[in-house]
Amino acid sequence: MTYPRLTFLGAAGTVTGSCYLLEHQGRRILVDCGMFQGSKTLKELNYGAFPFDPKSIDAVLLTHAHIDHSGLVPKLCRAGYRRRVHATLETRDLLRFMLPDAGAIQESEVERLNRRRTRRGEAPVEAIYTLADAERSLEQVMPVGLGETHEVAPGITARFWAAGHILGAASIELALEGAGPRPLRILFSGDLGPEAAAMTGPAPCDYVVMEATYGDRDRERLSAEARRRRLAEEVRAAMDAGGNLLIPAFAVERTQALLHDLAVLFAEGGLEPVEVFIDSPLATRVTEVFDRHIEDPDNRPDLLKQRGFHFIEDAGTSKSLNSIRSGAIIIAGSGMCDAGRIRHHLKAHLWRPQTTVLFVGYQAPGTLGWLIQSGKEAVRIMGEEVRVAARIRSLDTYSAHADQSELLDWLAMRQPVGNALVLTHGERAAIAALAAHVRTRFGAKTPVLMPELGAVLVLDRAQPPRLDPGMPRLPAPELGRADWHNDYAAFLIALSERLRRAPDEESRAAIVARVTEALKRN
């Protein structure tokens, strides 16, 4: 008998790039097809060929719309995938804006990169995909209802369950016929929200693939009112510092939560109103989607019509914001500062001690946001060195991810797990910490697996589960850390600083000579 196989092609040993390949009786299913984010070494995986033939895939199922779970769907379709992409209705509606936005960013980033490459005499590179590719791929996205069983390929049925992460987020249960005397059941948690444990889910499964983004920490439990008070304190301190407040934020969920709290604070007198600039066309479109799907519109402020909220569309207006030196809140993407308009605002304001930068979400290792948050004295933004003199603050109360205790509570509701729990979508420390707590709380009866990128799990219920190395996509040390690109940027900054501090021209020439000699030796 040939047993089903599950290959971990993304979000294994790292947070982003979620992608799982399930093979059963000649059928091949993808759960998620996400883009890698983080260090440049990790992001280079987005440009390479898929480690499978896209034309051989029978179905794609998406847990939710975040780009690290959906962002390579246009590339997959451009490479020959012609069948359905299954997602919830809300996810489908979000993708209508998110995927074209991602395509436009790819085109813009590559155009800027190729100008530099041309000046250096290097060959141009192609975008991962274009806006047109993204728009074409949307035709293949088909909405499915929560709790409904539907066949995604012969012998494979799926059910989507609410996951409580962002609008439309779902856990996905797959049932495989012909894998033994009864169907083999696999549950992919997707990204789980703080309230996920209280949501309806499937009966116990044979295998559970669970995220572990915050597997190594618990957040402080705050009411909505207490969370708003924390935000108000940060805003007041930023305004008192005499500059602007820059908030890098994801366009989906995080921006809307911030705007909601600001609107309530302004309306109820908890905070003196200030001008708020939402410098993200995608966030504007996503806010419209949220308004369409809101369950209780009477008790929620209309974010698009709030006095003092300015939704910025065109690039010219975005650039003009840099002339505002104080008294404004600027919310812009991307949330990890690796793309989008936030980089322009950081370049214009990060060096000013009056500026405040407030991080409200996870920063992947190697990203610009991670470098700033970790206390670097200088960073490179779009090829230019920028000193970090701004006030750097973090507010961990807006995360849409379950923390360690909430993940364990969700898992408790899924007991017993028949064969194995597989921990993914986390950095190594987070996964190891969660695995230890799982063993303490639930005992050693259910094996806990921690796959690396490219690992393969044979789904044989009669045998103890084990991971085969498969075909590693990156050396393990390259995951979850800064890479040589970060080291190179740090070297340039250190060299520049050393040259500035040298007492005279002769000393500077000696430094350059020593560096040049070291390069010759290597």
- Give the mean model confidence (pLDDT) for residues 220-230: 92
Q: Side by side, which strands form the sheet with 184-188?
A: 150-153, 156-162, 170-176, 184-188, 207-211, 420-424, 448-449
92 or 178, greater pLDDT: 92
- Identify the pLDDT of residue 337: 93
Which segment of 46-50, 167-171, 415-419, 443-447 scores lowest on mean pLDDT?
Answer: 443-447
User: Residue 480: pLDDT band by 50, 70, 90 thresholds?
Assistant: low
Give the mean pLDDT of the chain. 92
User: Residue 496: pLDDT band by 50, 70, 90 thresholds?
Assistant: confident
pTM of the full predicted structure? 0.91
User: Residue 18: pLDDT band by 50, 70, 90 thresholds?
Assistant: very high
Other Cβ atoms less than 10 A from the Cβ of 324: the count is 16
For 50, phi and psi rounded to 5 degrees? -65, 145
- Identify the pLDDT of residue 291: 80
Over 90: is that where the pLDDT of 95 sits? Answer: yes
Over 90: is that where the pLDDT of 305 sits? Answer: no
- Identify the pLDDT of residue 417: 94
Q: Which two tokens stand for residue 331?
A: 């919310």
Over 60: is that where the pLDDT of 183 sits? Answer: yes
- Give the mean model confidence (pLDDT) for residues 388-402: 93
- Identify the pLDDT of residue 495: 87
Give the percent of the chain with pLDDT over 70.
97
The helix (H) or strand (E) run that includes residue 22 is strand 19-24
- Identify the pLDDT of residue 297: 52
Residue 129's identity, in one-letter code, is Y
- Give the mean model confidence (pLDDT) for residues 217-246: 95
- Give the mean model confidence (pLDDT) for residues 23-39: 95
- Spell out the alpha helix ranges (H) of 155-244: 224-240
Superfamily of domain 11-217+400-478: Ribonuclease Z/Hydroxyacylglutathione hydrolase-like (3.60.15.10)
The pairs formed by 319-327 with CB atoms below 8 angstroms and a separation of 24 or more are 319/344, 321/277, 321/279, 321/345, 322/348, 322/349, 324/244, 325/243, 325/244, 325/354, 326/239, 326/242, 326/243, 326/244, 326/354, 327/239, 327/244, 327/274, 327/275
34-53, pLDDT tens digit by residue? Answer: 999 988 888 899 999 999 99
Over 60: is that where the pLDDT of 264 sits? Answer: yes
Q: What DSSP character marks residue 403?
A: B
- Identify the pLDDT of residue 392: 98
Over 80: is that where the pLDDT of 22 sits? Answer: yes
116-158, pLDDT tens digit by residue? Answer: 889 989 999 899 999 999 999 999 999 999 999 999 999 999 9
Over 80: is that where the pLDDT of 357 sits? Answer: yes
Over 90: is that where the pLDDT of 494 sits? Answer: no
Q: Where are the domains of the chain?
A: 11-217+400-478, 224-394, 484-521
Torsion angle (degrees, nearest 10) of CA 394, 398, 403, 407: -160
Give the percent of the chain with pLDDT over 90.
70
147 or 476, greater pLDDT: 147
For 430, phi and psi rounded to 5 degrees? -65, -40
- Identify the pLDDT of residue 165: 93
- Over the Cα atoms of the chain, what is R_g? 24
Q: Which two tokens stand for residue 469?
A: 């190395």
Q: Is 224-394 a CATH 3.30.1330.10 domain? A: no
Q: Which of 5, 16, 4 is nearest to 480 (CA)?
A: 16
- Give the mean model confidence (pLDDT) for residues 296-317: 82
Rounded CA-CA distance 271/230 in Å is 11
